[in-house]
Chains A and B, each alone.
Chain A
Amino acid sequence: MRTALENAFYTSRGNMTYIPISPKERDAMLETIGVKSLDDLFDAVPEKHRFPKLNLPPALTEMEAMQELSDLAQANENVRGDLISFLGAGMYNHYIPSVVDHILRRGEFYTAYTPYQPEISQGTLQAIFEYQSLMAALTGMEVSNASHYDGATATAEAVNLAYAQFRGKRKKVVISPTVHPQYREVIRTYTQGMELQLAGDDQSLVSKLDVATNSTDVLISLTDENTCLLIVQYPDFFGRVYDYTKLIEAAHAKGALVCVVANPTALALFKTPGSMGADVVVGDGQPLGIPMWYGGPSVGFFTTRKSYVHKMAGRLVGETVDSRGQRAYVLTLTAREQHIKRERATSNICTNQGLIALGTAVYLALLGKKGLRQVAELCYQKAHYAAQQLSQIDGMGLCFSEPFFHEFALCVNRPVEEVNKHLLEHGILGGYDLGQDYPALKDHMLVAVTEMNSKHDIDMLVQVLSEVNHD
């Protein structure tokens, strides 16, 4: 008689099995390790824990499961048809050409893994190399790694680089309060136990952040001889665009490095952080052809100057020639990575977001310089039209007067939650509630406008918000 475990084994073989061995092979393996049966193999697990009652509903066929999942999926409201979105704050609703997905789903890329063996990984390596080249060009920097998980983790890795560059002798990082609040949280998580002082965005400064505050002077005064890194965002969390050249010069005068967290779409339109003198440029690659999904997966780009490449985390692909003189790609400078340098490495991250990074590379290659600039211009013009219209609503107004890209803070003079609820009833996904992170900006909404928002969409937002105001 078969035991329960063997029953499970044979039953699964009777249906569609995912266990690749035959009973004969299994018995041979059991004999080799000196175990009589499968049950004996699991003897070490106390009997009462071997088959716990899981209390699951009856099993479904594939057809039934598909129906149930599709019913659940249809209960979601998405930005491709159901809702008009003005929500950004780090994730942006852009058009994704169908070629991007087509290339990503090619088996050669979809299943690709760590390309340690260049002789069998030229396609993956070349794709990463192209991605790196595009990112370096976009940010105006000399070198790019093969990517990180997302913009937040890439920013945290900039802290690791700066800390390592000064060999731990400079123990302070100054962070602008207008860097994405979630990025600032991730930096805190990453740097736990590093004896690092994080300054610039403590609650007293964040709460003072009102209409008149320009934090540049505060950031300069905080950056001292003990500071390894100053972090600013471009455009900042409120969408504002500053030329950081002078700020970067001031930080360099104190010997500190500067990291600029950038929106990649904006870089097609504005001065690059590289030309402002930044030492590290990071950001989230999601706006470049990656869906918003449910907040991820995404990709973090990381570019820097050649002089810091040995302190940079992550994988790096270089171009070389093979023994026959043909162009070839290979992982390079790997001795700085954790699998060789161990605890002396800058970071314990050697991985990259290969597939998503490839998606951004396909997007950029497809749009080209002109196409990306056109996307950025559309975002800029539409956002400015929206801002101009919205600011004319009685009792509402723009929070800041500085130049902005495709996102702006709007004072709605009542709880944002309430306003957004009303917008949702009209099929509009409203802006981010800034009061969540900035108490001084209670009743302020961060409105994002991209090329996906038509004039009709914007006019509708204006109309519904005017109604809210009259309710």
Chain B
Amino acid sequence: MNVPAHLKYTKSDEWFDPETGAIGLSDYAQSQLSDIVFVEILVDEGDSVETGKPIASVESVKASAEIYASASGTISAVNKDLSNKPEILNSDPYGEGWMVKVEGATAGETMDSAAYEKYCEERSH
């Protein structure tokens, strides 16, 4: 399981990059969902988001999940490639698989990588 140290994580398995304001889905979450076949970003550039509100909807071959904002702020960018290539979320969840970027972001309740790794391990038992 890949848990980059420079990111923050939420209990609902999103990651947040305090440097760039990017939000995405963790490696643990993508592996639990299995093959992702559809991504719909629910917000547009310029929308303001609040922590805990849905920003995207993801469908895999066996499940469907909502992705929640891990920070509040204004949406400055939306990853438009995801709708054509949803499998990026499986192959590169922390890179090409970013979902939105938030400007002036205030992070909600997050964990550091060590705490998140522990949190994931607890759940896999």
Do A and B share a complex?
Answer: yes
Residues of A within 8 A of B (CB): 167, 310, 333, 335-336, 340-341, 344
CB-defined contacts of B66 to chain A, threshold 8 Å? 344
Closest 7 A/B residue pairs (Cβ): A335-B59, A335-B64, A341-B64, A310-B38, A340-B64, A336-B59, A335-B63
- Check A344–B59 contact: CB distance below 8 A: no
- Check B59–A310 contact: CB distance below 8 A: yes
- Check A310–B40 contact: CB distance below 8 A: yes
Closest chain-B Cβ to A347's Cβ sits at a distance in Å of 14
Across the interface, name the chain A residue whose C-beta is closest to B40: A310
* Interchain CB contact (< 8 A) of A344 among B38, B57, B62, B63: B57
Known: A310-B59, A336-B38. 11 other contacts (CB 8 A): A167-B42, A310-B40, A335-B37, A335-B63, A336-B59, A336-B64, A340-B62, A340-B63, A340-B64, A344-B57, A344-B66
CB-defined contacts of B12 to chain A, threshold 8 Å? none
Closest chain-B Cβ to A306's Cβ sits at a distance in Å of 12
Closest chain-A Cβ to B125's Cβ sits at a distance in Å of 25
B5 proximal to A (CB < 8 A): no
Closest chain-B Cβ to A414's Cβ sits at a distance in Å of 57
Closest chain-A Cβ to B33's Cβ sits at a distance in Å of 9
- Check A333–B37 contact: CB distance below 8 A: yes
B1 proximal to A (CB < 8 A): no
- Return the CB mask of B54-88 against A: 1 if under 8 Å, else 0: 00010111111010000000000000000000000
Closest chain-B Cβ to A441's Cβ sits at a distance in Å of 44
Closest chain-A Cβ to B60's Cβ sits at a distance in Å of 6
Across the interface, name the chain B residue whose C-beta is closest to A336: B59
Task: State the CA gap A446–B37 with chains docked (Å).
Answer: 48
Q: Which of B19-74 contact A (CB under 8 A)?
A: 37-38, 40, 42, 57, 59-64, 66
Closest chain-B Cβ to A277's Cβ sits at a distance in Å of 21
26 contacts between A and B (CB under 8 A): A167-B42, A310-B38, A310-B40, A310-B59, A333-B37, A333-B38, A333-B59, A335-B37, A335-B38, A335-B59, A335-B60, A335-B61, A335-B62, A335-B63, A335-B64, A336-B38, A336-B59, A336-B64, A340-B62, A340-B63, A340-B64, A341-B59, A341-B64, A344-B57, A344-B64, A344-B66
Task: State the CA gap A97–B57 with chains docked (Å).
Answer: 47
Across the interface, name the chain A residue whose C-beta is closest to B59: A335
Task: State the CA gap A336–B37 with chains docked (Å).
Answer: 11
Task: State the CA gap A231–B64 with chains docked (Å).
Answer: 30
Closest chain-A Cβ to B66's Cβ sits at a distance in Å of 7
Across the interface, name the chain B residue whose C-beta is closest to A164: B40
CB-defined contacts of A167 to chain B, threshold 8 Å? 42
Task: State the CA gap A344–B67 with chains docked (Å).
Answer: 13
CB-defined contacts of B62 to chain A, threshold 8 Å? 335, 340
Q: Which of B81-121 contact A (CB under 8 A)?
A: none
CB-defined contacts of B63 to chain A, threshold 8 Å? 335, 340
CB-defined contacts of B61 to chain A, threshold 8 Å? 335
Task: State the CA gap A437–B62 with chains docked (Å).
Answer: 47
Task: State the CA gap A145–B60 with chains docked (Å).
Answer: 19
Closest chain-B Cβ to A36's Cβ sits at a distance in Å of 47
Closest chain-B Cβ to A63's Cβ sits at a distance in Å of 54
Closest chain-A Cβ to B116's Cβ sits at a distance in Å of 26
Task: State the CA gap A411–B99 with chains docked (Å).
Answer: 61
Closest chain-B Cβ to A163's Cβ sits at a distance in Å of 14
CB-defined contacts of A341 to chain B, threshold 8 Å? 59, 64
Task: State the CA gap A167–B40 with chains docked (Å).
Answer: 10
Closest chain-B Cβ to A165's Cβ sits at a distance in Å of 10
CB-defined contacts of B40 to chain A, threshold 8 Å? 310
Closest chain-A Cβ to B84's Cβ sits at a distance in Å of 10
Task: State the CA gap A344–B56 with chains docked (Å).
Answer: 12
Task: State the CA gap A310–B61 with chains docked (Å).
Answer: 12
Task: State the CA gap A242–B110 with chains docked (Å).
Answer: 59
CB-defined contacts of A336 to chain B, threshold 8 Å? 38, 59, 64
CB-defined contacts of B57 to chain A, threshold 8 Å? 344
CB-defined contacts of B59 to chain A, threshold 8 Å? 310, 333, 335-336, 341
Task: State the CA gap A310–B84 with chains docked (Å).
Answer: 13
Across the interface, name the chain A residue whose C-beta is closest to B36: A335
Across the interface, name the chain B residue whose C-beta is closest to A311: B40
Task: State the CA gap A310–B64 with chains docked (Å).
Answer: 12
Across the interface, name the chain B residue whose C-beta is closest to A345: B64
Closest chain-B Cβ to A191's Cβ sits at a distance in Å of 22
CB-defined contacts of B37 to chain A, threshold 8 Å? 333, 335
CB-defined contacts of B60 to chain A, threshold 8 Å? 335
Task: State the CA gap A341–B66 with chains docked (Å).
Answer: 10
Closest chain-A Cβ to B86's Cβ sits at a distance in Å of 10
Task: Give the one of A333, A335, A336, A344 with max B CB within 10 A.
Answer: A335
Task: State the CA gap A341–B57 with chains docked (Å).
Answer: 10
Task: State the CA gap A333–B35 with chains docked (Å).
Answer: 12
Task: State the CA gap A340–B63 with chains docked (Å).
Answer: 6
CB-defined contacts of B64 to chain A, threshold 8 Å? 335-336, 340-341, 344
Closest chain-B Cβ to A215's Cβ sits at a distance in Å of 34
CB-defined contacts of A335 to chain B, threshold 8 Å? 37-38, 59-64
Across the interface, name the chain B residue whose C-beta is closest to A341: B64
CB-defined contacts of A310 to chain B, threshold 8 Å? 38, 40, 59
Task: State the CA gap A167–B64 with chains docked (Å).
Answer: 17
Task: State the CA gap A344–B38 with chains docked (Å).
Answer: 14
Task: State the CA gap A470–B123 with chains docked (Å).
Answer: 87
